[in-house]
Copies of this chain bind each other. A is one copy, B any other.
Amino acid sequence: MCLNEQARLDQVFQALADPTRRKVIERLAAGPATTSELARPFAMALPSFTQHLAVLERAGLVSSTKQGRTRTYRLTPDALEVADGWLARQRRLWQRRLDQLDHFLTTLKEQ
C-alpha cells in the first residue's frame, strides 16, 4: 500500500483499461456483490475472472471481505478520484491553453 502517486495512477488507469473490469465497476455502483454474482454475466472461467477482481483491488478501486465461503466486493471511490484528479488537472491545463490560443487569435484579428 501507499505507493507513490505515479505508481498509483499506473495501477488505476491500467485497471480501467479493460472492459470486463469497467463493467464490474459499473455493476458495483449499484451496490456490493459477491464474486459469483459479479462473475455471472461473463463467459469466462472463474479463476480468470477473480484475477480481474484482484487487479481492481490492487488498484484500490474496490475492496472485499470474506464471510463464510462468499467474498463480497464493494466500490472504494477514493481511487477513482485519483484518476479523476489527474484528468481534471489536464483538462484545466489544456483549457487554459485553448483560452490563450483564443486570445491570441482574437488580438491577431484586431490588428
* A residues lining the B interface (CB < 8 Å): 6, 9-10, 13-14, 16-19, 22, 25-26, 29-31, 75, 77, 80, 83-84, 86-88, 90-91, 93-94, 97-98
Contact = CB atoms under 8 A, between A and B. Distances in A.
A98 B81 CA distance: 15
B14 A97 contact: no
A87 to B, nearest CB: 5
B25 A19 contact: no
A19 B17 CA distance: 15
Contacts of A83: 16, 83, 87
A93 B83 CA distance: 16
Given A6-B19, A19-B6, A90 B13 contact: no
